[in-house]
Structure 1
């Protein structure tokens, strides 16, 4: 099902790439990997080995999808936690051996997947010379936001530090990967609202499989688990996001100090109240850009949602949705 993933679209048209799709130069290959995954250390498992790399990429919202192989046996370690990324390594051919815990490793072959949050735990892997991957790079903050929207809370490190092998031939996850791959067009993107739908679907399905493998029930962490003041503050921040109320003012309205409110959000939601508000405002900006009337601009929409620093807003928007706000606006104008 994934033989042509990122090579050709569902109609058989070649999928355009922003750069080279193959390389035998270590520096070029590592530059690609640093951009689409994160900085890390690679060591070939042999003497005088040059790569014969496959390097293809596409975006599904904030998720980077890659078709990748080194073409030689390798060992990878020292993944940079500051990049803030989760890796989902889906094996198409060959095999990978992954760090599972201090004394155990997991081997994945064709059809198998492995997830690790490199922003929360260390990791290494060995790949044989025949490995070929269809990998996903997902920002931790993106999937944490999806968890909050769907389940009412952000899981703690019992989930994020769990390295997990999952999937398998015929699994729901494999079917989803096939659906995602077939939804990517010749331009390397998904059409319109489909992109957001797929981004959400990837994150929710991954969270479900990850939590099941970690022995956690996401439904048990529902909103009711948080204290009253956190739930009330969320309701205020959601309903008044456009006015961008101060955290101190919200804290006073729910009867606690700003420090208590911030500590409550961090404990029960895994994010700060300010980050929660920022995410709601970014979602509002995106919704308005998608239905913008002729003559509306990114500036007019963003300032209407309380953003004063448009450069910072644009950077956060691109990180959250995988495209600049101008691209969303252009798509909205075309539909209008």
Structure 2
């Protein structure tokens, strides 16, 4: 028996079921081939919810009893398994691995079969990250060449700061996309959140390209920094990411960061946010009182998904609330 699940805080409801075959069929369609063996007969109820953006999906899973999950080698993605409660043990890449809430996580890879034993208390957040997107970003972080390097991750995420960063960014993306709803996701926000998650994995989790990713970049020339800044000023309404800006001007992401810090005393992300804040201010100042323009709509248009944080940032820069700018008569 299965029924739709309702839990908007976790994302789009996918399934609530007490039928193991139904569960496996539904999750296989999202992830890849696997089996699930509950520890005992009866009392099995699985809850699964999720959100999706191109290249990255998040699933929250709660199966309600100990299970053994066996997955074939992942075909074209990695699965970052972050316990929210409880713990699991696994066998992967010839190793025994442990993951527990608030401490450690597991990175499932295409390298070998993945066998996991979940305890009864486990509630698991899984990031399904497309390997092609990770390879593309890795190539841009490393060099100016459009190559997509082979990319192999260590399956043990046992550095607490990396686990915490990955979980925090995943939770932020989950809440942002769930609150917006599948039809109202701001592409500017989604692209930025997706890039943050992937950068954390590439720069924080040990992988085959870690030495190259940590290599100090060559400094960007002043003219290239100016070109990148001009791109942000002229196309702020497009879903620009720092990776896409770096690719357009022919730099690695790290070199672009170094150049912005040296020339403009801020990161590329901070500069792009400032440009979009200026556009939001211009829209609010140009709107006639009573025209129907709303602060929340202007903020959303320019990639500010949290109204409270937008208002705080706006007041810091302009000395008044965005609503005050909107209400001022035109001259």
Answer whether TM exceeds 0.5 for this pair.
Answer: yes
The structural deviation recorded for 1:32 is: 2.1
Gaps of 5+ in 1: 1-5, 225-286, 292-333
Residues 187, 29 of structure 1: alpha-carbon distance in 2 compared, 3 angstrom cutoff: same
Counterparts of 1:39 and 1:222 in 2: how far apart (Å)? 40
Distance 2:97 2:12 in 1: 34
Report the structure number with the largest CA radius of gyration. Answer: 2
Separation of aligned partners in 2, 1:80 and 1:121: 5
Give the aligned partner of residue 61 of structure 2.
Answer: 68
Partner of 2:88: 96
Cα distance in 1 between the residues matched to 2:301 and 2:194? 21
Report deviation, 1:77. 1.9
Cα deviation code 1:261-311 (max 9, x no counterpart): xxxxxxxxxxxxxxxxxxxxxxxxxx9x959xxxxxxxxxxxxxxxxxxxx
Residue 51 (structure 1) shift:
2.7
C-alpha distance in structure 1 between counterparts of 2:7 and 2:180, whole Å? 9
Return the offset for 1:27. 1.9
**Is the partner of 1:180 in helix, strand or coil?**
helix
- Residues matched between the structures, number: 214
Residue 199 of structure 1, aligned match among 194, 200, 214: 194
Give the whole-Å Cα distance in 1 for the aligned partners of 2:111 and 2:148. Answer: 14
Aligned mates of 2:56, 2:18 — CA distance in 1: 26
Could you tell me which of 19, 28, 32 is aligned with 1:38? 32
Cα deviation for residue 223 of structure 1 reads 9.8
Task: With the length of structure 1 as denominator, give the TM-score of the two structures.
Answer: 0.55
1:146 corresponds to: 137
Distance 1:192 1:156 in 2: 28
> 1:73-92, aligned counterparts within 5 Å?
73-81=66-74, 83-92=75-84
Structure 2 CA distance, aligned partners of 1:139 and 1:171?
21
- Describe the shift of the 1:30–1:220 C-alpha distance in structure 2 as closer, same or farther (beyond 3 A): same
1:168–1:24: structure 2 CA closer, same or farther, 3 Å change rule?
A: farther
What SS does the aligned partner of 1:193 have?
helix
Q: Deviations over 1:178-228 (max 9, x none)?
A: 32233222414642211111111111111112227x79323367999xxxx
- Report the counterpart of residue 268 of structure 1 in structure 2: none
**C-alpha separation in 2, matches of 1:68 and 1:204:** 24
For structure 2, the 5+ residue unaligned runs are 1-5, 219-234, 240-299, 303-331
Q: How far has the Cα of 1:172 moved from its partner? A: 2.4
Q: Please report how far the alpha carbon of residue 87 of structure 1 lies from its aligned counterpart in structure 2 after TM superposition.
A: 0.5
Which structure exhibits the higher relative contact order, with contacts defined as CA atoms closer than 8 Å and separated by 6 or more residues?
Answer: 1
Within the candidate set 187, 199, 222, 2:181 is matched to 187
Of the three residues 98, 101, 106, the one matched with 1:114 is 106
